Structure 1
Amino acid sequence: MTPDTTEPLYTRDIDPGPITSRRVALVGYGNHGRSHALCLRDSGVSQIRIALRAGSASRAKAEADGFEVVTVAEAAAWADVIALLAADEAHRQIWTQDILPHRKPGQALIVCHGFSVHYGMIEAPADADIILAAAKGPGGAVRQEFLKGRGLIGFWAVHQDASGQARALALAYLAAIGSGNVGIFPTTFREETVSDLFGEQVVLVGGMVALAKASFTRLTAAGVSERMAYIDCVHELKYLADLIQERGIAGMYEAISDTAEFGAREIEDAIAGPELLTVFDGAMEAIESGSFARKWVERYESGDRLQAERARDRALPIEAAGAELRSRLGTATK
C-alpha cells in the first residue's frame, strides 16, 4: 500500500485554494449544512450561498447567520461547487428536479455521505467531479469541534474526476471544515456507505436503542423504579461512550469496577451468539444489495417519513422516565 492509503493528511499538507477560490453553494441548512457553511466561511471561503427549497424553515436561521439564501435551481446555475447536505433520502428528488436541469457546466458535486451516489440515485454528467467529503460524526459536532480548534476525522473519495482536480478539492473542503486538524484519510464511496449504514443500524443507534429499551423493560418488570432503570440503562451510556472514545474498549474495561467487568464479559459472550450474527448478516445483505436504500427512499418519497414510529416512541414509559429525570437534574443545576 502507498503512504497515501495509510497515512493521514493534515491542514499543513493541503492547499486551501481549490475551495477558497470557488463559488460554493450548500444545499440544506440542518446540522451538516449549517456547520459546514460556518466553518467554510471561517476558513476563508468568501463566496457562499445557502440553497433551500421554498418554504424551508431553515431560511431564517441561515439569513440570521449572514448568508444569502437562494433556491436550489439558482444555486445550481451560480455555483462552481454544490455541496448536497440535505438528508440522503431527499437527494434523488433534489438532484433530478432542482440541480441537474439548471447546473452550471463543469460544476463539482460534494456529498458528505456516499449513500445517494453509491446506490445510483445521482447519475452525474461527464463534466462533473463527484466527491465524497465525510467528517465522521454528527453534523453539529463538526462545528463544535472546529470552534475548539479541532475537528472530526475526515474521509475522502472520488467517484468521478472530470477536472483532474477532484482529490485536491475534496482535501481542501475537509481541511476547511476542521478535519485537517485531526487527520484525513482516503476511502471509497462503497466503504463509507456500507460502514456508515451498518454501524448506525446495528450498534450506534439500532443496537443501542434495542438494548436500552429491553433492559429498561426487564428491570421495571422486576420491580425497579423507572427512574433507577433509566439511569442504569440509558443515562449512563454517555459516560461509557466517553471512556471508549478516550481509551478504547480495553481501556474502558480497565477503568470500570472488576465486578462490572466480570459481569459484562459474561453477558457479552452470551449476547454475541449465532442469533446476533444472523441479525447482522441480514442487515449487511440489505445494505449491500441496495434493498434497504430503495425501501427507505421510496417510503420517503411517498410522504411516509417515520411519523408513526416517532409518535410511538414518545408514548413509551422509558421516554417519560427520561423526561422526568432530565427535568429534575435541570432544576438541580440551575
Structure 2
Amino acid sequence: MSVEMLYEKDVTTNYLDGKTIAFIGYGAQGHAQANNLRDSGYDVIIGVRPGKSFDAAKRDGFEVYSVAEATKQADHVQVLTPDENQAEIYKAEIAPNLKPGASLGFSHGFNVYYGEIVPPKDSDVIMMAPKGPGNLCRRTYKEGFGVPALYGYWQDASGHAEDKSKEFAKGNGAARAGLLKTTFKEETDEDLFGEQNVLMGGVTALIETGFNVLTEAGYSPQLAYFEVEHEMKLICDQIYEGGFVKMYRDCSNTSEYGSYVQGPKVIGPESKKAMEQGLKAIQDGSFAKEFMADYHDGFKKLYAERARVENSPLQKIGDELRAKMLFVNDADKFSTPES
C-alpha cells in the first residue's frame, strides 16, 4: 500500500502555536529537534536529569528543568529518552505531572506499541520519526532543508492529533524533504526489522563473515578489511545516490555479473526465513520482552556482545588502518555534535 508524500504547503494547521513544548531528553534527537523547533518559532523548554545533557541544554540557551517540572509546564511533552528507560521515566516523572489534555509525542513507537507506556485517555499521542540521525536533522535544518520524517498518531483525544504530528514534523524541517503517514505499529515493526535484519544486524554479520572467510583462507586481514568493510561505504553511497542501477553502472561488468550469480546464494531462502522469523518476534512482542529482560538484568547480553565487537580482529585491524587514513579522521570535523 503506497502513501502520499506531503510537503510544507500541505501542512496548514497551527494547533501547536503558542503552546509550551517540553523535550524530555537532550541527546542526539532531543538536541536536534529542540533546536529546530525553537528556530521555527515554538516555545521550547527542556526536561532532563542533572548531567552532561542538562549542562549542554543550558549552554544552548534553553530553560532547563527536572523532568517533572518541565512536564508540569508543558502543553506538549516530547519523550526522547532511550527505549529501555523511557517507561520508568514516564511512570515516575511524567505521568504524575502531565497537565490534563496535554499531548504526548514520540519519535519511535516502541514503548507505546508494546504497552510499556499507557497514556491517559485525554491526551493526543503523536509520532514524528525523522528518517535520519539527530546530527543530520540539525545540520540539514540549518542548511535550509531537512530529512524526511514519518508522522502519525496512536490516540486522537482532541480530533487534531494527526494535524499536530504534521505540524511537529514541519517545525523540525522535515516537511521540506517530505512526510509519510504511518502508525505506531507500522513504524515500530519496520524500524526494528530494518535495524536487525538489514541496516545493522544484517550488514555487520555479512561484513564480519566475509572478513572471517577471507582471513581463515589465508588472505591478509588488512586487504580483507578494505574489501569487505571499507568499500561497503562506497557501494552504499552509490546506492543512496541512484539505487542499484547507479551502483551497477559505476562498477565493472565482472562485479555486476558476479553479484547476480552469488548474491542470491548468500542471501537465499534460509536468510529470508530468518528474516521472517525475526519479523514475527517483533510483531508478537517476544523481541521487546527479551530486550527489556536484558535491560532489567543489567544488559549482560548487550554488554557482552559489545565487548566482543570491540575486541574482534576486524575492529582492531580497522582501527589501525583508519588511524592512518586522514580523510576518515577529518570527516568528524564536519559532523554536528549530538548533544
TM-score (norm 2): 0.92
Code of the aligned partner of 2:247 = M
Residue 20 of structure 2 corresponds to residue 8 of structure 1: no
User: Which residue of the other structure, out of 24, 34, 54, is the alignment partner of 1:27?
Assistant: 24
Residue 305 of structure 2 corresponds to residue 318 of structure 1: no
Cα shift readout 1:150-202 (whole Å, capped 9, x = no counterpart): 22211111111111221111111101111111111111111111110001100
Residue 225 of structure 2 corresponds to residue 230 of structure 1: yes
Q: Percent identity?
A: 39
SS at match of 1:124: coil
Cα shift readout 1:240-282 (whole Å, capped 9, x = no counterpart): 1111111112332222111111111112110232211221122
- Displacement of 1:75: 1.4
For structure 2, the 5+ residue unaligned runs are 331-339
Residue 106 of structure 2 corresponds to residue 111 of structure 1: yes
User: Which residue of the other structure, out of 100, 123, 145, is the alignment partner of 2:118?
Assistant: 123
Residue 151 of structure 2 corresponds to residue 156 of structure 1: yes
Cα shift readout 1:99-143 (whole Å, capped 9, x = no counterpart): 111111111001001111111111111110000111112222211
1-structure distance, mates of 2:52, 2:58: 11
User: Which residue of the other structure, out of 274, 278, 283, is the alignment partner of 1:279?
Assistant: 274
Judge conservation of contact 1:39–1:178 (CA < 8 Å) in 2: yes
2-structure distance, mates of 1:139, 1:331: 23
SS at match of 2:323: helix
Residue 38 of structure 2 corresponds to residue 41 of structure 1: yes
2-structure distance, mates of 1:205, 1:23: 36
2-structure distance, mates of 1:264, 1:331: 29
Judge conservation of contact 2:323–2:329 (CA < 8 Å) in 1: no
Query: In the alignment, which residue of structure 1 is the partner of 2:46?
Result: 50
Code of the aligned partner of 1:75 = A
Query: In the alignment, which residue of structure 2 is the partner of 1:72?
Result: 67
1-structure distance, mates of 2:116, 2:188: 13
2-structure distance, mates of 1:134, 1:260: 36
- After superposition, the Cα gap between the structure-2 partners of 1:270 and 1:332, relative to the gap in structure 1 and judged at 3 Å, is closer
2-structure distance, mates of 1:21, 1:331: 45
- Displacement of 1:333: 8.0
Query: In the alignment, which residue of structure 2 is the partner of 1:209?
Result: 204
Judge conservation of contact 1:16–1:176 (CA < 8 Å) in 2: no
Code of the aligned partner of 2:28 = N
SS at match of 2:112: helix
Code of the aligned partner of 1:314 = E
Query: In the alignment, which residue of structure 2 is the partner of 1:259?
Result: 254
Judge conservation of contact 2:30–2:80 (CA < 8 Å) in 1: yes
Code of the aligned partner of 1:89 = E
2-structure distance, mates of 1:23, 1:333: 40
How many residues align? The count is 329
- Displacement of 1:332: 9.5
Cα shift readout 1:6-35 (whole Å, capped 9, x = no counterpart): 322211222373334210111111111111
SS at match of 1:97: helix
Q: Which moved more, 1:186-195 or 1:296-305?
A: 296-305
Code of the aligned partner of 1:190 = K
- After superposition, the Cα gap between the structure-2 partners of 1:333 and 1:282, relative to the gap in structure 1 and judged at 3 Å, is closer
Query: In the alignment, which residue of structure 2 is the partner of 1:132?
Result: 127
Residue 191 of structure 2 corresponds to residue 193 of structure 1: no
- Displacement of 1:319: 0.9
TM-score (norm 1): 0.93
SS at match of 2:61: coil
Judge conservation of contact 1:52–1:70 (CA < 8 Å) in 2: yes
SS at match of 2:52: coil
SS at match of 1:7: coil
